[in-house]
Structure 1
């Protein structure tokens, strides 16, 4: 059985090769370890192997791990799950990034509740790229309005977009979904004032990260290929 450290090495090499094949700058794609339902010890093992960014979806579980790993000063915490209004204060106080903002109400609460002593909270807008009833996310049509609202929120830095395309689509349709998100970010750069650099596309997982990188991803969210099946 391969170790977490071996798996990180394997996935990192996949990212590097895909980045090179796509003609993109080395280091322009980052690995986000999807660590929900993994133990703090597993995260510490990944950290010891060089991984720094971890993605969590459940607030209380994440807070327990953040507390257990508080000695790891350069660890970076990303919230990637659906956001409940009653959890925004904890997210605003504990995380460095939030990839799943999909409405103004949530953004405003994160802005209001972010500790002013902390840097602005990095935000990605989640897009329901395939208009699935079961998925969170705003529509492509609502992106500019949401981005405009966040521009007025001083404690948030709008970094880009996130999507979770239907992984069961045919390959051509999955690629089209990634391309739609990439084109939406380009359009947003042209249309909306930015409270951040708009440099981020959070898309691609264990099975499709190469395709996502070819279409412009800057963060690939990988869990199973690092930690094994949950």
Structure 2
């Protein structure tokens, strides 16, 4: 079981007077070189909107925590830190639970997702309604050929077995209502199956093309073989969840 946040290394600034309209949740592990630039881009993308940025440090061993504390002095950042690494999904869950806005945007901490796409996805989410998840679709990926190939295969297999009809479930850039997310069952690696979980809960999923950029700083914390190994087990688990739950409908 993943431990609670580290009290000694969790920075909780005084909430602003104006409640945020959207909370941006960014899971990070050893992304110290990316903190300053990414936070600045998020702030610029949402400059005209009351917002907060919840950067969840998932037990980093580099200077991510120090970089987040510095960023909090300049931007609407709320750094949170796990006492030890619990995984990307745990970081997302921690951020969403701590968020104060009714709408959530998530993106990866490596700088490959473009924060400039957040307003577009958020507008689509508000138009579609609170029961809809808007998933980013990296139509032109800036990754290695191996990563692109394995992701393409994984997306096809997931779509076939889970019926989530989402071309890019692995894109970290997503927008959804906080209430919708909190209805989903939390588990390790759940972030890879959010479309299927939302559909299981009775919601809808739509995809929106987004920009994708090459990684400029740091190194990936996830290996291809690691993702494939745990992905199969997780896929079977989500299939089990789908078959073990029928959403009840009340009679009029």
What is the TM-score normalised by the length of structure 2?
0.25
What is the TM-score normalised by the length of structure 1?
0.27
